[in-house]
Structure 1
Amino acid sequence: MSLRSTSIPQGRPRSESLPPSAQRLFEEIAHQLPYISTYTELVFENVKPDDGSLVCRSLDGHAETERRGARINYNSVTRVLRLKFMPISLHDVHQRWINTSIVEWRYRDLLTEQESDLLWSGVGTTFDQFSGMYSGSSKQPDHYLRVDTDPSPQIVVESGWSESFPHLRNDKDLWMLGDPSVVLVILLRWTTISNGRIKGCAEVWRRDTVGRLISSTLDIFPAPSPSPPTEMIQFTKRELFGAAMTPGANPDTVFELDVAKLRQFAEEVITKMNMQPA
């Protein structure tokens, strides 16, 4: 087991009724929490599935994790428990992007009022419905779209610095291989480079017609030049609503997420960070 942290505090609060190995892991995490005051990731490796599941549930209701906007994730295949605290605005800028897009879909009559009421756009909800080798995993995504109270999301966004991108790739596998309801995963990769600049790209994952995972990459920063024919991430109403399609709806209606709009929002955030887009 390995832990990456930014601080070495003292004192160990306890969570009762956990087996010894899970208790020790919970204590090691709770030991760190009061000292976290900026964006921090804690990563534990070689965590057994039973322990990972128990610790996730214990942390989910912990006052200190809630206070720090924690996103709690456990992958039963990689056996990695990964906790993100106090996400920065750049890692959350996609929330504005997606919610603005939903408003536009409604304005353009791509969504009816009934469909709009069914659509749930959220952050950090706990999903643990994974199957097969991913059974026992738990995930709090950086963003998701799901329909009504479905147990699974259909569209997922995960975002982070390039140093964490291998974990995001594993998140993609968890979503796409562990939950057949997920049709699209967008990974946003942000990289700091020289002279206070930030690069960014969107890696888009979906299944082809025979179920294999395929990907495409769209540059955010530097902005592509010349501009490509399209910077749209597209999916259909059938993919988004599935069995919850309303009577008379056209399943082939196409929804779009415009990467140019994400670039605009991200540039505003990066400027506020006293940095520049690459």
Structure 2
Amino acid sequence: MSCFSCPTSSPQQPGSPTSHLPEADHDEINKSLRPIQVSAANIPTAVRVYSTIQSLIQRERINTPDLLVITELKPHVGTQLWQKFEQLESPALRKSFDPNTGHFTIKMPTPLHNCALIWFQDARDKWIEAGLLTTAEKRMMKAQVADTITLTRGVYANCRKEPDVHVNVHGLNLPTLCFEIGYSESKPLLESDMRRLLIGGQGDITAVILIKWYKRRAGVAGTIELWRLDNNGNPLKEQDEAIFPVPSSPQPPIKVTRKMLFGNALLPGRPPLDIFSFSLDDLRIEARIAMAKQSLFPL
């Protein structure tokens, strides 16, 4: 769920073994995944926008992608549309609205989106078993989906966002760690999500993990990236790994620190630089289970 135009510079793109993966090819199977998109420039009310969205979903039901994008939406109409979705639609939907660009996006999550939550929970259980987390820290930290984040500072002030997964810590207004997952959502739009969260969070959101799935005739490919802010407040890609196809050489896990997990709520005396790892093999296990539910299989 993303803004199509962003007021900040493009994120850094260091070379990596996974950067060559194509965003799209000419397979018909990929064409069916392109997001549904509609302009609201000539639709004056939230009721009519909502009706248009419902009609589009019904028409595209056979090959419905998981992302719907409304462009050129007036700020007050976007606010009313958000309220309408809150009242009438499933809380499983994940919404995003940027009044600066007029883009309102609706993600309809699949098992491939949702397996990231299970992956985080499994990693947390291992941290507890290893003695990395105390009972107090465990109680402080909750992973959630579909909760609304309202950014209040900087160029992304007044943006609303529901990350695919976000880690909330008691006492903090914003999550510390967010996960954004793309299936029909393109890599540039995922990166837009990341910029908005990191820059709009102004350091309170310490890191964003991007997972991008690529559907191909032969199966599903996938990549994962860890982003954080550098010392100048710009997004920095810290890790970039392949999920599928599985690389032949060993890979490091995705790593965050205790400070990244707990942010400004870090308990006194707890080592801020302790490493917390997310196993890519564990992610592959959950992804395979999720793919089977969608009649998919990995490359």
Report the TM-score, using the length of structure 1 for normalisation.
0.83
Distance 1:151 1:249 in 2: 21
Q: Percent identity?
A: 27
Aligned residue number for residue 14 of structure 1? none
* 1:47 corresponds to 2:73: yes
Selected match of 1:240 from 261, 264, 270: 261
Distance 2:66 2:250 in 1: 36
Selected match of 1:251 from 272, 278, 291: 272
Distance 2:281 2:271 in 1: 27
8 Å CA contact 1:125, 1:140 repeated in 2: yes
Q: Give the drift of 1:30.
A: 5.1
* 1:81 corresponds to 2:104: yes
Change (3 A) 1:273 1:162: closer
8 Å CA contact 1:236, 1:255 repeated in 2: yes
Deviations 1:31-58 (A, max 9, x none): 5577869664221112233332332133
In structure 1, stretches of 5+ residues that fail to align are: 7-18
- Give matches, 1:118-267, under 5 Å: 118-161=140-183, 163-180=185-202, 181-195=204-218, 197-215=219-237, 216-228=239-251, 230=252, 232-267=253-288
Change (3 A) 1:120 1:163: closer
8 Å CA contact 2:199, 2:234 repeated in 1: no
Q: Give the drift of 1:219.
A: 0.3
Change (3 A) 1:54 1:149: farther
Matched pairs, number: 257
8 Å CA contact 1:129, 1:151 repeated in 2: no
Aligned residue number for residue 10 of structure 1? none
8 Å CA contact 2:44, 2:77 repeated in 1: no
Q: Give the drift of 1:91.
A: 1.7
8 Å CA contact 1:39, 1:84 repeated in 2: no
Task: Please identify, of 113-122 and 186-195, the stretch whose mean Cα deviation from structure 2 is larger.
Answer: 186-195
Change (3 A) 1:126 1:236: same
Selected match of 2:85 from 56, 59, 73: 59
Secondary structure of 1:111's counterpart equals: coil
Secondary structure of 2:233's counterpart equals: coil
Deviations 1:204-238 (A, max 9, x none): 2112233221113110001111223x1x2222112
8 Å CA contact 1:56, 1:138 repeated in 2: no
Which structure dedicates a bigger proportion of its chain to helix?
1
Change (3 A) 1:50 1:131: farther
8 Å CA contact 2:144, 2:167 repeated in 1: yes
Q: Give the drift of 1:201.
A: 0.4
Change (3 A) 1:77 1:257: farther
Q: Which amino acid aligns with 1:251?
A: P
Q: Which amino acid aligns with 1:269?
A: A
More relative contact order, 1 or 2 (CA 8 Å, 6+ apart)? 2
Distance 1:151 1:202 in 2: 26
Distance 1:162 1:203 in 2: 17
Q: Which amino acid aligns with 2:105?
A: R
Distance 1:163 1:156 in 2: 17
8 Å CA contact 1:157, 1:185 repeated in 2: yes
Distance 1:149 1:34 in 2: 42
Distance 2:58 2:87 in 1: 15
